[in-house]
Chains A and B, each alone.
Chain A
C-alpha cells in the first residue's frame, strides 16, 4: 500500500474478535493496516460480513480493536475523538426534531453561540439543498432527503475526518449518483478526509482517490486501487473510458472473495 505523505488517520495491525455466546469467538477483521492521507477520499469495498463496518467503528472509536492500534491526527483513538463525523447507513435523523433542529443538534450540544449556530446551519441547509424543508419533520421527507439531513448534521460540526458507512445503501441508483455529487462537493469544499464504506463498486470507483478491497472474513486489504481521478470531478466520470477498467479490477478481486462466502465455489 502506498504510504501517503501526511497521514491523517491510521490503523496498525488492527484486529477485531467478537465473543460469541458459549465461549466461541468470531474473528471479524484483521490484522489490517491502513493509512489515510489528509484530505484524501478513500473507499472500502468487500464482501458481506468481511468487517467493513467494524473497520469504521474502530476508526470512529465506537469499538475498541482486539489487537493493534487506531490513531487519528497522531493520537490513539480512545472513544470518539473530536473532529470525527460519522454518517450511518440507517436513518439516524431525530424524528422528533424538524430539519433545522436536527442539523443544529450537535452545535447546540457543544454550546456554540446562537449566532454561529444559525450561520452554520443556514450554510449546511443551503449546501445540502434543504432550505425549503427547514421546518419539515423527517417523517415528511424521502429517504434521500433524510440522509441529507444526517450529512448536514455531520457537516455543521466541521469534522476533519468524515466516516460514511454505506450512507446511500437504501437509495435508488439515480439518487445515489446525485448524492455522490453532493458528497464530492462537500469533500472539496471542506478539505476533510473521507472514508466511505460501500458495497457499490461504481460508487467507490466514482467517488474515491483510492479504493481498498477487503477479503472475506476475517477481512484484510487484498488490493488498493488508485483511481487517478482529478479532485474536480462528479458523477459524469462514469462515462470516462477508464471507469470501466477500475470497476473491472475491483470486481475481479471482489468476485473471488464473494464466491468464498457463497460456499467456497471456485472462481
Chain B
C-alpha cells in the first residue's frame, strides 16, 4: 500500500475509534447511534443467523443485473451515438445535464409500468447509471489516437477487426471508468429504490427496522451496505488504476 493509502486508513480508523469512544462514553446516546463495534456484532449476527439472506441476495442480484444492463446498453448506445454525429450534436447537451434531473421522481411511472417488483427497481437503477457508461464510451472512442486508426489501415484490418483489436483496447481505460461509475450509481439506485418501492431487499429491511425502532438491525445492515460498496469500489478502483497506468499514452 502507498503512504497515502496508510494515511487514509489511519484517518478512517481514528474516526471509527472516536465514534466508538463517543458512543461508549455516553456522549452519543444508543438510541441515536450504535457504537461501531456493536454495529459489527449486529452484522455478524445477521449474517450468522441468516434472517436477511433473502434481502441480501435480492439486493446484490439487482445491483449485478442493473450494472450489467447499464454497461451493456450504455456501451451500445455510446457506440451508436458516436457513429452518428448529428444525433450526438442533438443528444450531448441533454446528457451533460442529465444528472441535474432527480430520476427517482419517476418511480410512480415505473410502478405503473412494471408493478412493485424487482423490474421497477432495476429500471430506476439503470436509468440512474446508464448515462455514466454512455458518456464514458463517447469519451473513450473520442480519445483513440488517429494514428492507431491509420495503423489499422496499414494492417488492412476490416472494420470489425479494427473495432475488436484496436478501438476496444484503446478505449478500455475510459470504458472501465464508465463501468465503475455505472456500478456505483446502480448500487445507489437499487438501495434507494428498495426504500420506497419494494417488499424485500437490504434497503427495504433497513427502512423496516427503522420504522420498528430496531436500531441493531438497522445499523448492522447499514454497515453491510457500506462494507459492500467500499469493498467493491476499492477493488474496481485498483483495477482502474492499473489499467490507467498501463495504458496511459
Q: Note all chain B residues with C-beta closer than 8 A to A88.
A: 147, 150-151
Q: Note all chain A residues with C-beta closer than 8 A to B245.
A: 139
Q: Which residue of the partner chain B has the closest CB to A146? A: B249
Q: Note all chain A residues with C-beta closer than 8 A to B246.
A: 95-96, 137, 139
Asked if residues A92 and B148 are in contact (CB atoms below 8 Å), the reply is yes
Q: In the complex, what's the smallest C-beta–C-beta distance from B245 to chain A, in angstroms? A: 7
Contact with A along B16-45 (1 / 0, CB 8 A): 000000000000000000000000000000
Q: Which residue of the partner chain A has the closest CB to B147? A: A90
Pick from A80, A90, A96: contact of B154, CB below 8 A: A80
Enumerate B56-93 residues with CB–CB distance to A below 8 Å.
none
Given contact pairs A88-B147, A90-B145, A90-B147, A95 touches B154 in the complex (Cβ within 8 A): no
Given contact pairs A139-B245, A139-B247, A139-B248, A62 touches B170 in the complex (Cβ within 8 A): no
Whether B172 is near chain A, meaning CB under 8 Å from some CB there, is: yes
Q: Note all chain B residues with C-beta closer than 8 A to A138.
A: 249
Given contact pairs A88-B147, A90-B145, A91-B249, A96 touches B169 in the complex (Cβ within 8 A): yes
Pick from B153, B161, B248: contact of A62, CB below 8 A: B153
Q: Which residue of the partner chain B has the closest CB to A95? A: B247
Q: In the complex, what's the smallest C-beta–C-beta distance from A102 to chain B, in angstroms? A: 11
CA distance A80 to B154 in the complex (A): 6
CA distance A95 to B145 in the complex (A): 11
Whether B155 is near chain A, meaning CB under 8 Å from some CB there, is: yes
Whether B156 is near chain A, meaning CB under 8 Å from some CB there, is: yes
CA distance A96 to B155 in the complex (A): 17
Asked if residues A95 and B153 are in contact (CB atoms below 8 Å), the reply is no
Q: Note all chain B residues with C-beta closer than 8 A to A79.
A: 156
Q: In the complex, what's the smallest C-beta–C-beta distance from B225 to chain A, in angstroms? A: 35
Q: Note all chain A residues with C-beta closer than 8 A to B147.
A: 88, 90-92
Whether B157 is near chain A, meaning CB under 8 Å from some CB there, is: yes
Whether A86 is near chain B, meaning CB under 8 Å from some CB there, is: yes
CA distance A17 to B138 in the complex (A): 31
Q: Note all chain A residues with C-beta closer than 8 A to B157.
A: 109
CA distance A60 to B169 in the complex (A): 25
Asked if residues A85 and B247 are in contact (CB atoms below 8 Å), the reply is no
Q: Note all chain B residues with C-beta closer than 8 A to A105.
A: 155
CA distance A96 to B248 in the complex (A): 9
Enumerate B134-157 residues with CB–CB distance to A below 8 Å.
145-148, 150-151, 153-157
Asked if residues A96 and B145 are in contact (CB atoms below 8 Å), the reply is no
Q: Note all chain B residues with C-beta closer than 8 A to A60.
A: 154
Q: Which residue of the partner chain B has the closest CB to A90? A: B147
Whether A49 is near chain B, meaning CB under 8 Å from some CB there, is: no
CA distance A45 to B193 in the complex (A): 65
Q: Note all chain A residues with C-beta closer than 8 A to B161.
A: 109
Asked if residues B249 and A86 are in contact (CB atoms below 8 Å), the reply is no
Asked if residues A95 and B151 are in contact (CB atoms below 8 Å), the reply is no
Whether A39 is near chain B, meaning CB under 8 Å from some CB there, is: no
Asked if residues A80 and B153 are in contact (CB atoms below 8 Å), the reply is yes
Asked if residues B156 and A95 are in contact (CB atoms below 8 Å), the reply is no
Q: Note all chain B residues with C-beta closer than 8 A to A62.
A: 150, 153-154
Q: Note all chain A residues with C-beta closer than 8 A to B172.
A: 96
Asked if residues A95 and B150 are in contact (CB atoms below 8 Å), the reply is no
Asked if residues A92 and B151 are in contact (CB atoms below 8 Å), the reply is yes
Hey, which bits of chain A sit against chain B, CB under 8 A?
60, 62, 79-80, 84-86, 88, 90-92, 94-96, 105-106, 109, 137-139
Beyond A86-B151, A95-B249, A106-B155, 4 extra complex contacts between A and B, CB < 8 Å? A80-B154, A90-B146, A92-B151, A94-B170
Query: Can you give 25 A-B contacts (C-beta < 8 A)?
Result: A60-B154, A62-B150, A79-B156, A80-B153, A80-B156, A86-B151, A88-B147, A90-B147, A91-B147, A92-B148, A92-B151, A94-B148, A94-B166, A95-B247, A95-B248, A95-B249, A96-B170, A96-B247, A105-B155, A109-B161, A137-B246, A139-B245, A139-B246, A139-B248, A139-B249
The 5 A-B residue pairs whose C-beta atoms are closest, nearest first, are A90-B147, A96-B169, A95-B247, A92-B147, A92-B151
